[in-house]
Amino acid sequence: MKKLVLTVSIMLTINYLQAQQIKIGDNAGAVTFEEYEPKSTLVVPGKVITRAKFPFIDVHNHQWEMKSKEDLTKLITEMDKMNMGLMCNLSGRGFGQDEAKSTAGLVGMIEAVKENYPTRFAIFTNIDFSKINEPDWTAKAVKMLEEDVKLRGAKGLKIYKSLGFSVKDNGKLVAVDDARIDPIWAKAGELGIPVLIHTADPASFWDPLNAQNERWLELKTHPGRKREAAAGKDFSWEELIEQQHNVFRKHPKTTFINAHMGWYPNNLSKLDSLMEAFPNMYAEIGAVIAELGRQPRMAKKFFEKRQDRILFGKDSWVPDEYQTYFRVLESEDEYFPYHKKYHAYWRMYGMGLSDEVLKKVYYKNALKIIPGLDKSKFPK
């Protein structure tokens, strides 16, 4: 009898606990990691910065509609709100393989800028690698680059990450340091224009998709970003980075802007050593502000040391997201949110850069290496 009573008692207790769990679940909802976004109870001084302290140059932007005054005025309205003095559109030719069409697009953008807002935009050109297997591809590409700069008015060259990822020659991936591209890098140096080059992606994209991967949420929500070098599908991250560095090393007279801080914003000591090794390499901060915002003291020291070779960039055109950049760079605020959880589930801290460093990052360094920009709108 005692055993029966005990068994019944245990069963009732279990049922009660299960009921309580169901009740709690019904009231609060089952919360996944993707959904968990608590409001911080921390009370600290600080405020959102909607307008940069100084006019700035965004060296990393992509625009597709810039062929009319209406298109440009819409951009200018947003730029003025945040104190953006000049935007570099890196997609002058876009991704198209039709030469006549891409030339018309580039010319259309440049002419619209000249007619309406000649001091507010700089257009970069691009290279079509789809025909790299053709014998005369190199000569044609070099000629087009020279004409884009000298005749059409392009201010720089942007290399998309497709080089190293998807550009192929007879089914085989083309390396970033392929010898057929060497004359293009050399021509850019001769023309005095910078090459903003995006190579690879965050190293975590190549790591196993498990609980130890810091980019787990991003890869889960954006599965197309996962890389599989182990299966022979892609170059490894290390291979791509080495290929890029080979280009820097081989062309010391060409100025390179390494997009996304060369994917070393999470290892600034390594990035510092690379900047020492490659004096022709600049770094821009597009899409990596979350890495800087979680290491404000280390990042501030790096910015102070390399202040002459760091550029402001954003990449994706979402005006409200610039606020995170301003706050990390300018303020000493603590524990404030980032704008995309799948990029960073951690909070940001401001570096509190000095005015001297801010001016260099915001505009002075860009004015130094991008030819033909109007300097009159920027403080000395």
* Cα distance between residue 18 and residue 21, in whole Å: 5
Q: For position 232, what pLDDT does the model report? A: 77
Residue with tokens 């070393």: 264
Q: Are 126 and 91 in contact (CB under 8 A)?
A: yes
Residues 6+ apart with CB under 8 A from 43: none
Q: For position 11, what pLDDT does the model report? A: 46
Cα–Cα–Cα angle for 17, 21, 27, rounded to 5 degrees: 140
Q: For position 8, what pLDDT does the model report? A: 39
**Per-10-residue mean pLDDT for the chain, 380 residues long?**
44 43 53 87 95 98 95 98 98 92 97 97 98 97 98 98 96 97 98 98 96 95 92 91 98 98 98 98 98 98 98 97 98 96 94 98 98 95
Tokens of 212: 């130890």
Q: What is the pLDDT of residues 281-306, one digit of tens each?
A: 999 999 999 999 999 999 999 999 99
Q: pTM, whole model, 2 decimals?
A: 0.91
Q: For position 189, what pLDDT does the model report? A: 98
Q: For position 28, what pLDDT does the model report? A: 55
Helix (H, G, I), strand (E, B) or coil at 88: strand
Q: For position 32, what pLDDT does the model report? A: 86
Q: For position 176, what pLDDT does the model report? A: 98
How many C-beta atoms surround the C-beta of residue 134 within 10 A?
Answer: 10
265-301 burial, b at 16+ Cβ within 10 Å, e below that, comes to bbebeebeebbeebebbbbbbbbbbbbbbbbbeebbe
Residue type, 39: K
* Cα distance between residue 380 and residue 378, in whole Å: 7
Q: For position 31, what pLDDT does the model report? A: 87
Residues 6+ apart with CB under 8 A from 213: 204, 207, 219
Beta-strand runs (E) in 119-197: 121-126, 156-159, 168-169, 172-173, 195-197
Give me the helix-helix angle, 268-277 and 296-305, nearest 10°: 10
**Residue 353 vs residues 235, 286, 315: alpha-carbon distances, Å:** 37, 17, 22
**Alpha helix (H) ranges present in the chain?**
2-28, 69-82, 99-116, 137-147, 182-191, 216-221, 237-250, 268-277, 289-293, 296-305, 322-330, 355-359, 365-369
For all residues of the chain together, what is the average pLDDT? 92
Residue with tokens 């005054």: 69
Q: For position 36, what pLDDT does the model report? A: 87
